[in-house]
Amino acid sequence: MKALRSRASLTAALAASALLALSACGGGDIEESGGGDKKCDTTVNMAINPWVGYEASAHVVGNVIEQELGCKVDYKDLKEEVAWQGFAKGTVDVIIEDWGHPALEEKYIQGDKSATDAGPNGNVGQIGWFVPPWMAEKYPDITDYKNLNKYADLFKTSESGGKGQLLDGDPSYVTNDEALVKNLKLDFKVVYAGSEAALITGFRQAEKNKKPMIGYFYEPQWFLSEVPLVKVNLPPYEEGCDSDPEKVACDYAKTDLKKIVATKFAESGSPAYDVVKNFTWTNDDQNIVAKYIAEDKMDADEAAKKWIADNPDKVEAWLK
């Protein structure tokens, strides 16, 4: 995956007078500058979790906060659980895309109350197992998990110990795959590719070279517009079927992705928090920016600015 970028952003020019009421960030002194403008001296610590869709969301929101409010945004490359730990330490203010972590919510939202749920971000997440299109065409029944064992030999690799390989991404991602393989009695072994980029490369090559592959993947994801991976049907998700991580034997739920923020940030009176709370966009919106970054090799901030310039009405709604 393209290396995620951390930077302390430049303090941008402030917005027009209609936005001046929003430009005083809570927790910092308000400085008067020429022409009556106000300058926000607060820094917003934005976690960057290791997948490009998250990076897209974070830099779009971060650029709006910088450009329209004049705050600084400090992007921090952190895995999911480590980012949550930052709320209590004061090192993280915003997780812009959370895929659901009940244990972390219990510890940091209900427990020490260092974190606050800031509502949905508009993206709907779907994790699952996928195969490249050529496999679904050649072996149409492979999309039913009950038939996977008869195809297990196709997926053997040097890393899978004589079993079929189920390729996962970063070990820090939300995954039930090891439990699913065990509880569904599948002759497979979970092998971790290590990153989103490695998963994408694997699927791209599998389709191009007609090479067998089955792996963990998810939506929203820009890559699905390049290679329309085909989802394998696991036992249908039912409420509570994944409540015990050791006994999971059902598919992943569709998840309304949400924003988690530091409680201190939420209570600071900062207009930057209002932007985060108001932020919502679609899977298609995210995929556009993610493609700019991952496929078109644009700098994350330049990609964000391009989308912002093309979508002023959506941005304006976050600033109200």
User: For 151-166, what is the mean pLDDT?
Assistant: 97
User: What CATH fold (topology level) applies to the domain 125-231?
Assistant: D-Maltodextrin-Binding Protein; domain 2 (3.40.190)
Half-sphere exposure of 255 (CA within 13 A, CB side): 21
User: For 111-115, what is the mean pLDDT?
Assistant: 98
Torsion of CA 193, 198, 100, 182, to 10 degrees: -30
Report which residue type is found at 216: Y
> From the CB of residue 36, how many other CB atoms can be counted at a distance below 10 Å?
8
The C-alpha atoms of residue 307 and residue 320 are separated, in whole angstroms, by 19
Half-sphere exposure of 216 (CA within 13 A, CB side): 27
For the cut 60, the answer to whether the pLDDT of residue 25 exceeds it is: no
- Average pLDDT along the chain: 89
The C-alpha atoms of residue 315 and residue 119 are separated, in whole angstroms, by 17
In contact, 180 and 249? CB cutoff 8 Å: yes
User: Hey, where are the domains in the chain?
Assistant: 17-124+258-318, 125-231
For the cut 90, the answer to whether the pLDDT of residue 2 exceeds it is: no
Query: What is the band of 320 on the pLDDT scale with cuts at 50, 70, 90?
Result: confident
User: For 68-95, what is the mean pLDDT?
Assistant: 97
pLDDT for residue 91:
98
Q: Return the axis-axis angle of helices 52-64 and 283-294, rounded to nearest 10°.
A: 100
In contact, 140 and 233? CB cutoff 8 Å: no
Same-fold call for 17-124+258-318 versus 125-231: yes
Give the pairing type, strands 43-48 and 38-40.
unpaired
pLDDT for residue 40:
62
Prior bond of 271 cis (ω within 30°): no
For the cut 50, the answer to whether the pLDDT of residue 20 exceeds it is: no
Q: What is the pLDDT of residues 180-223, one digit of tens each?
A: 999 999 999 999 999 999 999 999 999 999 999 999 999 999 99
Model confidence, pTM:
0.81
* Residue with tokens 């302390």, as numbered in its chain: 8
DSSP codes joined into one string, 121-180: EEEEEEEEEEE-HHHHHHSGGGGBGGGGGGGGGGGB-TTTTTSEEEEE--TTS---HHHH
User: What CATH fold (topology level) applies to the domain 17-124+258-318?
Assistant: D-Maltodextrin-Binding Protein; domain 2 (3.40.190)
Give the pairing type, strands 72-77 and 43-48.
parallel
For the cut 60, the answer to whether the pLDDT of residue 33 exceeds it is: no
